[in-house]
């Protein structure tokens, strides 16, 4: 016989005590599931520790979600999980007693003060036959934990003799915590514009794999994509085109706020980038007073870079930058503002250093930490600034010498706009061809940068050759999935042979979400992992 449990309330105490109110139900068939080894489930990124107990939690119509009371954000995490379960397997799971009838099993999302969970994103999962307990100190940690739980839900129910469908979740304990606190992706919306809905879809896919930073490259020679109310021609003129001569586009401030809100709900930080003093043709076309290259600016739809610059010795330029940084910072709750700083080929060195120093003070004035591409390490900036290493190891070492934090984004390993191989239609190859295995088989710790100076990693996707969300997905996936593991999982738990098996099992998720991923022949893509059978036992 199976003893079922009717749960009215659940309190998780520091001693790990769970109080359950029990009542008897008629006999039901005993479920026998061959694949109940938690250690074999294809989780990405791979957790710190997985201990299987070789039984299963039966997710079904008698399951409910409860969250800690008076714990900020935990109820929203529970509602998010219920929404995703509904979208995945069309199962309604009530949250905190709402619309709950008979409850036999519970998923409890618990705010814990355990010293083992002393990092903001740390979590523990205890999966038993009648309960799943997710412990985290913060709602952010709980949110990372439910992404793991989502990956544990089978794609199809098992074929049981029970009246209802059951989705068995293998039992055991998972302990997890990220290797790096900064795990980023960058999307270039300047070369080609991507709508709010496109960005939201990308956010959802990134959040599933525990990415927590989305860097938006908002301005470049070919387009200015963010409304600045004090300088309206930036979008009226500068936002009117893109690479190849398309219509361009821009985000109103309400659009941008909606992207920020959507990301916040998924515990993702938006990092705005206004690239300067180079990559500034679109701004100079709108306001020629900003221009410093001595040429009459015209709208630009090409792909070459390095020809534009602001006038770094003009006070009007810094008044302009102050307005831009102020308006964007007021809409951006995250701690960072990215000022670009790369490929300023026509800016004299002394002018460049003067400019970066001035911009850093403006960014600090508006309460943000400045990030810049690795060239900014040549300026006289303080140790609170962050260098994003993309091209020059020498610049990265200069940043370390100044005790700056470094975001690791080497173009020949981490750039999502690089082609997979010589046959790939989309993308470029000036840095390298980056097949799926090369994208995974490297480590941020490989380059001699001390671990304490590595803020984290980021995978940029430049958009010269992509024009829509389908093409974006083709270059980003599956490589972005591997980058998520490089940032989250400690090096000793990363192994290509093991990873490529787990990656193969991501196909159902990608296909269910209509992701146009690149079907690399290096991967034996699977349609479904779990097969179950049931027998009736006396």
Q: Which residues are annotated as catalytic?
A: 343
> 404 Cβ partners below 8 Å, 6+ apart?
377, 381, 383, 384, 385, 386, 387, 453
**Coil, helix or strand for 281?**
helix
Q: How far is CA 172 from CA 11, 37, 86, 210, in A?
A: 20, 8, 24, 21
d(CA 107, CA 113): 19
d(CA 535, CA 529): 20
Closest CA to 142 of 65, 46, 53, 57: 65
Instruction: Compute and round to an integer the Cα radius of gyration of the chain.
Output: 25
Q: Cβ atoms within 10 A of the Cβ of 60, count?
A: 19
Residue 77 host element (H or E): helix 74-89
φ and ψ of 310, to 5 deg: -75, 160
d(CA 376, CA 301): 27
Q: Is residue 137 within 8 Å of 112, Cβ to Cβ?
A: yes
> 527 Cβ partners below 8 Å, 6+ apart?
507, 508
φ and ψ of 419, to 5 deg: -65, 150
């Amino acid at each position: 016989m199976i003893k079922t449990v009717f749960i009215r309330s659940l309190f998780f105490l520091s001693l790990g005590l769970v109080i359950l109110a029990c009542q008897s139900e008629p006999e039901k068939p005993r479920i026998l599931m061959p694949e109940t080894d938690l250690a074999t489930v294809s989780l990405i990124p791979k957790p710190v520790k997985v201990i299987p107990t070789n039984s299963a939690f039966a997710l079904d119509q008698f399951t409910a979600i409860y969250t800690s009371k008076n714990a900020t954000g935990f109820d929203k995490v529970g509602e998010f999980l219920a929404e995703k379960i509904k979208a995945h397997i069309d199962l309604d799971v009530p949250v905190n007693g709402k619309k709950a009838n008979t409850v036999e099993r519970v998923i409890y999302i618990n705010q814990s003060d355990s010293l083992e969970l002393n990092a903001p994103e740390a979590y523990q999962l205890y999966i038993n036959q009648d309960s799943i307990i997710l412990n985290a100190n913060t709602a952010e940690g709980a949110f990372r934990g439910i992404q793991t739980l989502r990956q544990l839900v089978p794609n199809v129910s098992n074929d049981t003799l029970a009246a209802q469908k059951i989705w068995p979740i293998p039992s055991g304990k998972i302990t997890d915590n990220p290797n790096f606190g900064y795990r980023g992706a960058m999307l270039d919306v300047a070369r080609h514009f991507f709508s709010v809905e496109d960005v939201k879809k990308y956010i959802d896919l990134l959040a599933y794999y525990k990415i927590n930073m989305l860097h938006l490259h908002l301005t470049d020679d070919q387009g200015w994509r963010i409304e600045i109310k004090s300088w309206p021609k930036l979008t009226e003129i500068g936002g009117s085109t893109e690479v190849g001569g398309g219509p361009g586009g821009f985000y109103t401030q309400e659009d941008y706020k909606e992207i920020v809100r959507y990301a916040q709900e998924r515990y993702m930080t938006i990092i705005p980038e206004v690239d300067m003093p180079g990559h500034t043709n679109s701004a100079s076309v709108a306001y020629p007073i900003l221009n410093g290259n001595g040429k009459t600016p015209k709208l630009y739809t090409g792909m070459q870079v390095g020809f534009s610059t602001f006038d770094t010795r003009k006070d009007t330029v810094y008044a302009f930058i102050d307005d831009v940084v102020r308006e964007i910072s007021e809409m951006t709750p995250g701690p960072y503002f990215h000022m670009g700083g790369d490929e300023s080929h026509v800016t004299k060195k002394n002018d460049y250093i003067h400019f970066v120093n001035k911009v850093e003070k403006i960014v600090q004035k508006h309460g943000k930490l400045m990030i810049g591409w690795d060239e900014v390490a040549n300026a006289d900036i303080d140790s609170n600034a962050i260098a994003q290493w993309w091209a020059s190891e020498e610049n990265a070492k200069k940043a370390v010498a100044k005790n700056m934090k470094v975001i690791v984004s080497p173009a020949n390993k981490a750039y999502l706009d690089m082609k997979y191989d010589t046959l790939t239609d989309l993308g470029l190859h000036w840095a390298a061809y980056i097949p799926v295995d090369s994208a995974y088989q490297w480590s941020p710790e490989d380059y001699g940068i001390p671990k304490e100076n590595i803020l984290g990693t980021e995978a940029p996707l430049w958009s010269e050759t992509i024009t829509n969300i389908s093409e974006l997905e083709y270059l980003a996936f599956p490589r972005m999935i591997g980058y998520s593991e490089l940032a989250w999982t400690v090096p000793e738990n990363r192994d290509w042979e093991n990873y490529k098996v787990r990656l193969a099992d991501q196909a159902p998720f990608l296909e269910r979400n209509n992701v146009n991923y690149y079907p690399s022949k290096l991967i034996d893509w699977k349609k479904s992992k779990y097969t179950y059978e049931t027998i009736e036992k006396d």
